[in-house]
Chains A and B, each alone.
Chain A
Amino acid sequence: MLETKHLTKKFGELQAVSDVNLSISRDGIHSIIGPNGAGKSTLFHLLTGYLKPTEGEIRYNEEDITGLAPRKIVRKGISRSFQIADLFEGLTVKENLQIATQALDEKRNAIWMSSDALTTTLEKTDQLMADLELSELSDVRADALSHGDQRKLEMGLALAVEPDLILLDEPTAGMGKQESVQMMNLIQRIVNDRDIKLILIEHDIEMVMQISDRITVLNRGEILAEGDPKEIQANERVQEAYIGTEGE
């Protein structure tokens, strides 16, 4: 479904992502893990057009999408969330999701009609709010939401554009254990219901092992290992570089 070849991004001397060859299939949840600074977020930036790669190419459903602008990549069916929520802060939850949903409508640029006349958009917005358990907060400004609800809305903005592939960058960042588990359950449910392929960056190893079908471990911009959770757990290089020797 998604493939990269020799994907490389340099910032001056620093190789944030170097020679990454990924091949991600349509089925299951694919997680990308690695310590801070391993290049996970940079990889997402490259895949979604936020950064242009220094070298290499990205193919999505056999099509070359390297260097396309973010809005064009979204139209191909790839959307993403950010690690630090990037919301339309001064607008309400409903307006946030309405803006994102409306982006799919062919009348999105219309100037001589009320935005509330796009009934399909409004219905989809309401449905999405319900799915995200945000309906009660519909008229609350995004910057007045609790941290957990902001994370949900962040994901909602990515879901609203009806992607086939969604990239979530630490959707549970800053949440407690309990809340994280609930969030992850919510994510899994939505992704299954809507048949969306999920690529996940996540910090919590335990959670990753639990829900992923495939895992890629990045370290200092390079792929250190790739495999199913069992293989990753058994991989000595991963143990050494990332998880650390255990127990003692």
Chain B
Amino acid sequence: MIHHISLAAFDVSTTQLVFLLLNGLALSMLYILIASGFAVIFGITDVLNFAHGIFYMLGAYLAFTVVDATGSFFVALILGPLVVAGLGIAVERLTLHHIYDRSPLYHVLITFGVLLIVTDVVELIWGTGTKFFPTPELLGGAIAIGPVIYPRYRIFTIGAGALIAFLTWALFRYSDFGLIVRAGAQDKQTVRLMGVNIGRYYTLIFGLGTFLAAIAGALAAPFLSVNPEMGNEALIIAFVVVAIGGLGSFGGSIVAGVIVGFVQTFTNTFASELSGFVLYGLLFGVLVLKPEGILGTYEIREQAAKLSYDETIKPVNLTDRRVMAVVGLLLIIPFVSRLPSVSQYGVGLIALMFVWGIFALSLDTVIGYTGLISFGHAAFYGIGSYAVALLTVNFTNSFVIALAVAILFAAAVAWLVGAISARLSGLYFAVVTFAVGQMLYQLALSWSSFTGGSNGFAIDHVMLFGIIDLSETFAFYYISLLLLVSLYYVTKRIMDSPFGLQLQAIRESERRAKFVGYDTNKAKRRIFAISGAIGGVAGALVTTRQTFTSPDSLYWIVSGDALFAVILGGVGTLFGPIIGGAVLIGLDQLLTIYFDQWRMILGFVLIVIVLFAPRGLVSFYYILEDALGNDRDADPTASAGSDADSINGDK
């Protein structure tokens, strides 16, 4: 279709076509630059770097400051990226370097923590406003190319982009450094046996990847605006281009960069209403036709580390009595508080904590029990939210009906996501779920007649049985608590079922699960639907409380926060993530009162948890209990562990 249109345009104007081709080329180069650093890091170290966009943004801001100070764009173009590369190296050395042997989930979370920190640091230094970045004098103005007059800076970008991409390619193809990292990506152990300390090269690769991100940011600064949003835009571009090209394939990211750049340019011109969907549309097409990407291979180099329990750290044992004690306490809290103004706020906050507990619970069924890293759970949360909002505006404000519809839609979409991505595992799975989530976000943004666009829309109060107003704090508190406790027990029962056992089998070894006769793809679709339904409940509740929805509920940061909550609480324990979700949103709401840069603090917390307490808060409790000298035998899980030790010792 695009081909046809461009030919028609050619008849009208050669000038226009040349202009478009140059624009396409400039955009392609930018995409290639953004994606290649991401691809390099993933291809060699298997780390999906969610901080990539933030390093790109930092490159732009630093270039801005250096230009401000020295007046030289070219100094800025080198100096800024070098500083960012240094930062990347420091991040790798302090964090990732020590946990390469762990599940990739933890790598993702480290980079997510870095993203939270750097975002706030940038805001702290440069503020939130958009910076005007002047086009360097030498490269100002325009020149004539054939029939068109074209901005000189864009020509420069095309040239610089091509040069950097070429140099990176040549570095990998011809240098000893390139040879070592290519060999290392195939077989680390053998590379060490050649006398190479491969760990050092991982650090350098991380530095190179961040350098490329930053130089892309610096180059883009003069013709895009410099603002705090640019990091997220770049991250999504990097993700999509790399997924289309083939995860970890440098060549693939170049091919995909060109395709996406041109398709985007032509769509912007001829079908601008579709321009927001180009990235996702192309990605979706590739995922359906060739899920491993254009130049990707299906070969899995090394089995990624599994996310099974670490035997040495046992989570606390949660008995029904303990649950009842906690629930009993929660039931009376609203009555105990005397000061009406304080209690309103406090009770409302606790209710919100329940909702996030539900959301984290939904993610844990997929990650903790089935071993699938979903990075798109915002989709189900957002669907739940929009389902309630749209239903209330258009049909009825009955909570029961709205909740049922939210569950139904969220489950249906989740089932579809599960069906599309069932063939994939590990990080491919994370990428696909991320993309689906972002696609829905884009849809909510663009389809404004239906969704209210970026501002979202407000709704009426949602009523329970026509009489109880659920936007009212106390009613909402109890309905949320009721749903949380019921969903916890429903989930627990499902995880104890034959189906639940099957899920754990998939987590531990999908191949073996197939070889004993399970239809693992079917099981994945089903657990995704269940998980999506629970996520939908969380989204529905939030909207009921806030009487408002917006695309923010679908944004990928929500997915990141959910992952954070699961790890914070204790993955694979159901109640751990509930605590994690509650604590995360509680911290979030309290810190925001005292600090502007509270996300930064959360970022540090996340990194510390990942590095030093990967089993989360529930393991804290156990460690504490152990330290206080409680009788170990009181805890059945502990005695099972010591049995195992003694039996081993005998052998």
Chain A residues near B (Cβ < 8 Å): 48, 50, 69-71, 74-75, 79-80, 86-92, 95, 98-100, 102-105, 107-116, 118, 136-137, 139-141, 143-144, 146, 157, 160-161
With a CB–CB cut-off of 8 A, which chain A residues contact B514?
69-71
With a CB–CB cut-off of 8 A, which chain A residues contact B523?
109
Give 6 nearest A-B pairs by CB, closest first: A90-B308, A88-B508, A74-B517, A103-B517, A100-B516, A111-B499
Q: How far is the CB of B102 from chain A (nearest CB, A)?
A: 14
Decide: B515 and A48 in contact? CB cutoff 8 A.
Answer: yes
Segment with Cβ contacts to A, from B128-136, B352-360, B643-651: B643-651
Confirm or deny: B518 has a beta carbon within 8 angstroms of a beta carbon on chain A: yes
Complex alpha-carbon distance, A107 and B500, angstroms: 12
Decide: A99 and B516 in contact? CB cutoff 8 A.
Answer: yes
Q: How far is the CB of B532 from chain A (nearest CB, A)?
A: 15
With a CB–CB cut-off of 8 A, which chain B residues contact A79?
515-516
Residue of A nearest to B530 (CB): A111
Q: How far is the CB of A16 from chain B (nearest CB, A)?
A: 16
Q: How far is the CB of A125 from chain B (nearest CB, A)?
A: 11
- Known A79-B515, A111-B494, A139-B640: A98·B501 in contact at CB below 8 Å: yes
With a CB–CB cut-off of 8 A, which chain A residues contact B65?
none
Decide: A89 and B498 in contact? CB cutoff 8 A.
Answer: no
With a CB–CB cut-off of 8 A, which chain A residues contact B515?
48, 50, 70-71, 74, 79-80, 86, 157
Decide: A103 and B497 in contact? CB cutoff 8 A.
Answer: no
Q: How far is the CB of B283 from chain A (nearest CB, A)?
A: 28
Confirm or deny: B444 has a beta carbon within 8 angstroms of a beta carbon on chain A: no
With a CB–CB cut-off of 8 A, which chain B residues contact A107?
498
Complex alpha-carbon distance, A141 and B306, angstroms: 15
Decide: B509 and A87 in contact? CB cutoff 8 A.
Answer: yes
Mask for B534-555, Cβ within 8 A of A = 1, else 0? 0000000000000000000000
Decide: B498 and A112 in contact? CB cutoff 8 A.
Answer: no
Chain B residues near A (Cβ < 8 Å): 306, 308-309, 311, 493-494, 496-502, 504-505, 507-509, 511-520, 522-523, 526, 530, 640, 643-644, 647-648, 651
Residue of A nearest to B643 (CB): A139
Most buried by B among A87, A100, A104: A100
With a CB–CB cut-off of 8 A, which chain B residues contact A137?
647
Decide: B306 and A115 in contact? CB cutoff 8 A.
Answer: no
Q: How far is the CB of B25 from chain A (nearest CB, A)?
A: 36
Residue of B nearest to A107 (CB): B498
With a CB–CB cut-off of 8 A, which chain B residues contact A114?
493, 496-497
Identify 13 new A-B residue pairs, CB closer than 8 A, beyond the known A91-B508, A103-B518.
Answer: A71-B517, A71-B518, A75-B517, A80-B515, A86-B515, A88-B504, A91-B504, A95-B504, A103-B516, A105-B498, A139-B640, A157-B512, A157-B515
Which of A70, A87, A95, A140 touches B644 (beta carbons < 8 Å)? A140
Q: Can you list 27 A-B pairs, Cβ within 8 angstroms, ordered by A?
A: A48-B515, A50-B511, A71-B514, A74-B516, A74-B517, A86-B509, A87-B509, A88-B508, A88-B512, A89-B308, A95-B504, A99-B516, A102-B502, A103-B518, A108-B499, A109-B498, A109-B522, A109-B523, A110-B498, A110-B499, A111-B499, A113-B498, A115-B496, A115-B497, A115-B498, A136-B647, A140-B644
With a CB–CB cut-off of 8 A, which chain B residues contact A100?
516
Complex alpha-carbon distance, A139 and B638, angstroms: 12
| CB within 8 Å: A-B pair count | 124
- Known A109-B498, A113-B498: A157·B516 in contact at CB below 8 Å: yes
Q: How far is the CB of B485 from chain A (nearest CB, A)?
A: 18
Residue of A nearest to B512 (CB): A86
Decide: B517 and A161 in contact? CB cutoff 8 A.
Answer: yes
Complex alpha-carbon distance, A102 and B501, angstroms: 9
Decide: A144 and B644 in contact? CB cutoff 8 A.
Answer: yes
- Known A107-B498, A111-B500: A140·B643 in contact at CB below 8 Å: yes
Decide: A99 and B505 in contact? CB cutoff 8 A.
Answer: yes
- Known A89-B306, A91-B504, A115-B496: A146·B517 in contact at CB below 8 Å: no
Complex alpha-carbon distance, A75 and B515, angstroms: 10
Residue of A nearest to B636 (CB): A139
With a CB–CB cut-off of 8 A, which chain B residues contact A146?
648, 651
With a CB–CB cut-off of 8 A, which chain B residues contact A75?
517
Complex alpha-carbon distance, A99 and B647, angstroms: 23
Complex alpha-carbon distance, A147 and B522, angstroms: 33
Decide: A144 and B311 in contact? CB cutoff 8 A.
Answer: yes
Residue of A nearest to B504 (CB): A91
With a CB–CB cut-off of 8 A, which chain B residues contact A74?
515-517
With a CB–CB cut-off of 8 A, which chain A residues contact B647?
136-137, 140, 144
With a CB–CB cut-off of 8 A, which chain A residues contact B498?
102, 105, 107-111, 113, 115, 118
Q: How far is the CB of B109 from chain A (nearest CB, A)?
A: 20
With a CB–CB cut-off of 8 A, which chain A residues contact B511?
50, 86
Decide: A141 and B644 in contact? CB cutoff 8 A.
Answer: yes
Residue of B nearest to A121 (CB): B498
With a CB–CB cut-off of 8 A, which chain B residues contact A91?
308, 504-505, 508
With a CB–CB cut-off of 8 A, which chain B residues contact A71?
514-515, 517-520
Q: How far is the CB of A140 from chain B (nearest CB, A)?
A: 5
- Known A90-B508, A102-B501, A139-B644: A112·B516 in contact at CB below 8 Å: no
Q: How far is the CB of B480 from chain A (nearest CB, A)?
A: 24
Q: How far is the CB of A168 from chain B (nearest CB, A)?
A: 13
With a CB–CB cut-off of 8 A, which chain B residues contact A102?
498, 501-502
Complex alpha-carbon distance, A100 and B516, angstroms: 6
With a CB–CB cut-off of 8 A, which chain A residues contact B501?
95, 98-99, 102, 115
With a CB–CB cut-off of 8 A, which chain B residues contact A95?
501, 504
Decide: B519 and A90 in contact? CB cutoff 8 A.
Answer: no
Q: How far is the CB of B632 from chain A (nearest CB, A)?
A: 16
With a CB–CB cut-off of 8 A, which chain B residues contact A140?
643-644, 647-648
Q: How far is the CB of A138 from chain B (nearest CB, A)?
A: 10
With a CB–CB cut-off of 8 A, which chain A residues contact B497?
110-115
Residue of A nearest to B309 (CB): A90
Complex alpha-carbon distance, A118 and B494, angstroms: 15
Q: How far is the CB of A83 from chain B (nearest CB, A)?
A: 13
With a CB–CB cut-off of 8 A, which chain A residues contact B308?
89-91
Which of A87, A105, A108, A144 touches B512 (beta carbons < 8 Å)? A87
With a CB–CB cut-off of 8 A, which chain B residues contact A80?
515
Decide: B516 and A160 in contact? CB cutoff 8 A.
Answer: yes
Complex alpha-carbon distance, A185 and B401, angstroms: 64
Decide: A112 and B493 in contact? CB cutoff 8 A.
Answer: yes
With a CB–CB cut-off of 8 A, which chain B residues contact A109?
498-499, 502, 522-523, 526
Which of B500, B516, B519, B643 touches A115 (beta carbons < 8 Å)? B500
Complex alpha-carbon distance, A100 and B508, angstroms: 13
Complex alpha-carbon distance, A157 and B513, angstroms: 10
Q: How far is the CB of B629 from chain A (nearest CB, A)?
A: 25
Complex alpha-carbon distance, A71 and B507, angstroms: 17
With a CB–CB cut-off of 8 A, which chain A residues contact B502?
99, 102, 108-109
Complex alpha-carbon distance, A197 and B647, angstroms: 34
With a CB–CB cut-off of 8 A, which chain A residues contact B640?
92, 139
Complex alpha-carbon distance, A118 and B497, angstroms: 10
Most buried by A among B504, B512, B518: B512
Complex alpha-carbon distance, A92 and B496, angstroms: 15
With a CB–CB cut-off of 8 A, which chain A residues contact B516?
74, 79, 99-100, 103, 157, 160-161
Residue of B nearest to A108 (CB): B498
With a CB–CB cut-off of 8 A, which chain B residues contact A48?
515
With a CB–CB cut-off of 8 A, which chain A residues contact B494?
111-112
Complex alpha-carbon distance, A140 and B522, angstroms: 30
With a CB–CB cut-off of 8 A, which chain B residues contact A136?
647
